[in-house]
Every structure is written in structure tokens, then in C-alpha cells.
Amino acid sequence: MCPQIEQTLKDVFGFASFRPQQREIIEDLLAGRDAFVLMPTGGGKSLCYQLPALHRPGVAIVVSPLISLMKDQVDALKAQGIKAACYNSALEAQEARQVLARLHGGELDLLYVAPERLMSEDFLGRLRELQIALFAIDEAHCVSQWGHDFRPEYIQLGRLRQKFPGIPLIALTATAEPHTRKDIIARLNLEKARCYLTSFDRPNIRYTVLEKKRPFNQLLDFLDGRREEAGIIYCLSRKRVEQLTAKLQEAGFAAASYHAGLSGEERSRVQEAFLRDDLPLIVATVAFGMGIDKSNIRYVVHHDVPKNIEGYYQETGRAGRDGLNSEALLLFGMGDVALARGLIDNSQNEERRRIENHKLAAMVGFAQATGCRRRVLLGYFGETLAADCGNCDTCLDPPEMVEVTEDARKALSCIYRVNQRFGLGHVVDVLRGSKNQRLLELGHHRLSTYGIGADRDKDYWQALLRHLIHLGYVEQDVGNFSVLKLHQSSRPLLRGEATLQMGRPRTKPAPTAEAG
């Protein structure tokens, strides 16, 4: 349709051919049509608006949420000889004036703008006097409360479509489950846009979830033989990042920390070293990785459970961009889930709490899945796999299902007998007939459920109680010392009208998952 775009692809961007759907999207924009693009990270979204920006008269306006990302993109474009600039609050007054002068002088092909800048009356007024090639809204999920990274300043972007009729608008995101997707389209008024949905599957990434237990040892086992490989370990807090880095260094690993509490200088030093392959291992909070383009990351470990599947997918997705086999390991601990839930419940906004709890529950569901992990993951994004993937822990070694109806009943009665006023540890102690002082003082050794589970070990009972919690039969009152309470849905189980099975928890990878 437009032979010059092939030439530009080769001459300016240096690529031999288009990736799936890039051509169609570009041709849409060139024809003046809107597009909504859902493509995984690394799929090649930027080209979809950068290339047509060079072929349509006027300047392309690109909205991006993070100043650092903007700068990286603009630097990369300049290096390719493309006339690009950014306009944001990080600029000195002098620099800002220069950018505006170039804008008005028609000297720019692309201008990256922060959303609040773009939607200011002053800036919109300027744009009305100029020829505009297209609008591109990157990280479009930021407009949705349902997205995991809502940014209020994105809301205003909804006015763009009406304000500039006739100028094509493209919205792009790497993370949007069906609900968020609909919300983005509605909020940006993109009902007429063509939707491009590429598969989110990353077949070369192997997903493994282990029940978190003595995590440092689990990590050492995992890292054994991977010392030279590039990898990232994500932790929930800065403190955990620091602690883990120290322990890894002590154990002889070349590891460094990365989190938002470090100086900008230190952060760039660590990131540069990692990109240059001088430093194999980074321990980080989720602050690390946005916009980093390193193809040979061989593994991503989540030391703590992520808050939602969007984050998990995005972070694990940094592994294996080169298409070679890579690992995604999650150490799943119920304590971390309780912690995350506590943080959510602290939030003031009730709507937010509801959404985040829902997302956390989906994450827990993924970790607890006994079927193909990839199915659960992709299913969350509205995608269905034709067959089980054969490259996740549950496919490679299906968990053994054990019949736990009778034991579940014992556990439920025990919670009832201690008047639903004690936490998980104590309930396990009563079940196992522990002789600890506090238990004896409470007189709990005289309960009918005392010692009825002595035939099973502590780990088993903990896992079973967690299973009951995940399934909603038992509630853990986070605001009240994590006391266990029966939910009414547990009644059929207690009365013997329902049965229960549980996948045997695994703390070590399946032998087959280790090979290869």
C-alpha cells in the first residue's frame, strides 16, 4: 500500500521486516484511522507511532507517563537521526522555550509530552495552530482505575478525541485484561478505533511456583548453576531488597540492590552495569525494569508475591526477550499475602480497596492453580490456549491431589472449638496436641479436638488451613491478630455434604523442571 514505509523501516530504524501487526497498525494511522494496540512489552509498540510520525505531515504528539522513559525514548530517536524532543517539568525554563520554538518552527517529527502539560489550555492552544501528524497515548492503561497503574492526570486525555477531530489517535498498552481494555476505550473515546490484540503468550518462559519456605535456601538452590546468568529478584519492600542483597553478597554472589530510595546516580550505575553484562544479578523493588531493554535476562524471581497478575506478568516478561529458554520463579508465602492484604485495607478509597483485593485474589488463584499455569495467566488477560502449555511446573509435573475432606473437617471443628479467637499457629498446635505453656494455661488440652491431628506434621496442617482460607471456607481476620473464623460456606464441608482435595504443596522444583 505504501512502499516508502518499508524503506523507512530499513533506512531509519534498521529493521529488515515488520513484526506481526505493526504494518497494519501503521497503515491505519497513515490512512487517518484510530487504533487501540494491546501488545506485550517488547512487542514493538513504539515503532507503530514513530514510523507513521515520519510519513505524515506535522508533528506527532506522544503522551508518556514517566519523564525517565520519555528521555530514554527521545535519546534513542535522536541517535537514529530523528527530530524528537520532550516537553515536561524536568526541563529548565530556557530548554522549554527552545523546545517550543522548534515546535512552532515545524522542526520536530515527534514531541513527547507529559499528560498534564499536554492538556493545559496554553498547550492545547498552541497545538491548534500547528499541523499535527498524530496523537499517541503510551501506557494507556494509566487512564483506567481498573488498570494497575492509574494516573489521575490521564483522565483529561479523554478530551483529545473530540478536540482534534480528523487527527488519528493511537492508544497503546502492554497490560489490559478485558475489563480494563473496555474502560480504556470508553475513557479515551476510542469506540471507533480498530483494536489490535496480539497474543500475550511468552512460550519460552517457564513458570514455577513454590510454597515459600526458608526462602534463602530455596533461592540458593535455584541460583545454583546460574551465577553467570543475568537475572532479577523482585522483593516487595526496600528493606527486603537491602537484606537479601547483603545475604547474597555474603554467599559470594555478584548482586546489587535497586530501589527508589537510592540516589539517581547509584541507580544508573547499577542499571548500566546490568545492561553491559558486568553485573549479573539485581535485587530490586518493582521500581526496576520499566523501559529497560535487555534481551538476555535468563530468570526473574519473585521473592514476595506481587500485588496483581498485571505486575507479575510484566515483571516476568522481562526474562527471555531473546526467545531463549528462561525461568520465572515465584516464592509464594501466605504471610506475604496477608501483608499485601493489610496494605490494601489501609487504603482510604473503598473502590480502590475493592479492586485491589480482587486483583490480589486473582494472583493468589494463579499461585494456587493445580492446572496449567499459563492457562490461568493468559486466561486472566482474556486469552485461551488451545492446549496445556507443557512448559510450566504443573504441566511438567502435575501436583499430586490428595483427599483432605476428613482432615478439613477436623481443622474446621478445631477453629470452632477455640471459639474462633485464635490464629493459624495455635489451631495447628491444638490439632497436633502440642504441650506448649500457653495452650495448657488456656486449658485447650481439654478440648475434644486436642491432638486429633497428631498423625500429620505441622507443614501439612498449615498448608491445609491455608487452602481452606484461599477457598474462602475460613477467614483470616487481618485487623484482629489474624484470628481464624469459619465462613458459612464451610457448613456443607463440616456436615459431610461436600468433599475437598488439595494439591500437595511443593517447596522444591519438580525434578523435570530443573533439567534443561
DSSP, collapsed to helix, strand or coil, labels residue 347 as coil
- How many amino acids of this chain bind ligand ADP (CB under 6 A)? 13
Q: Using the rule CB under 6 A, is 433 a contact of ligand ADP?
A: no
CB of 84 to ligand ADP, least distance (A): 14
316 contributes a contact to ligand ADP by CB under 6 A = no
| Nine-digit cell string for 309 | 497478575
* 374, interface contact from ligand ADP, Zn ion, none, CB < 5-8 Å by kind: Zn ion
| Under 8 Å between Cβ of 151 and 115 | yes
Q: Which residues of 301-337 are buried (b: 16+ CB within 10 A; e: fewer)?
A: bbbbbbbbbbbbbbbbbbbbbeeeebbbbbbbbbebb
Kindly write out the interface string for residues 290-309 of this chain, putting x where it contacts ligand ADP by CB under 6 A and - elsewhere.
---x----------------
- Picked from ligand ADP, Zn ion, none, the partner binding residue 15 (CB below 5 to 8 A depending on kind) is ligand ADP
Examine residue 206 and tell whether it contacts ligand ADP (CB under 6 A).
Answer: no
**Contacted entry of ligand ADP, Zn ion, none for residue 29, CB cut-off 5 to 8 Å set by kind:** none
Beta carbons within 8 Å of 59's beta carbon, 6+ residues apart = 53, 103, 106, 108, 109, 110, 111, 130, 131, 132, 133
Query: CA-CA distance, 169 to 139, in Å (whole number)?
Result: 14
Of 22 and 462, nearer to ligand ADP (C-beta) is 22
Closest residue by Cα to residue 304 from 218, 204, 226, 203:
218
Asked if 12 interacts with ligand ADP (CB under 6 A), we say no
SS3 326: strand
Q: Does 42 bind ligand ADP (CB under 6 A)?
A: yes
Toward ligand ADP, which CB reaches closer, 91 or 290? 290
Shortest Å distance, C-beta 206 to Zn ion: 9
The binder of ligand ADP chosen from 26, 29, 30, 39 (CB under 6 A): 39
Site residues (vs Zn ion, CB under 5 A): 372, 374, 388-389, 392, 395
The correct pick among 8, 12, 15, 33 for binding ligand ADP (CB under 6 A) is 15
CA distances from residue 65 to 48, 98, 112, 121, 277 in whole angstroms, order as listed: 18, 22, 10, 19, 28
Nearer to ligand ADP, 28 or 304 (CB): 28
The values of phi and psi at residue 328, to 5°, are -125, 115
With CB cut-offs between 5 and 8 Å by kind, which of Zn ion, ligand ADP, none does residue 43 bind?
Answer: ligand ADP
What is the distance, to the nearest Å, from the Cα of residue 116 to the centroid of all Cα atoms in its chain?
25
Query: Which residues here bind ligand ADP, judged by CB under 6 A?
Result: 15, 18-19, 22, 39, 41-47, 293
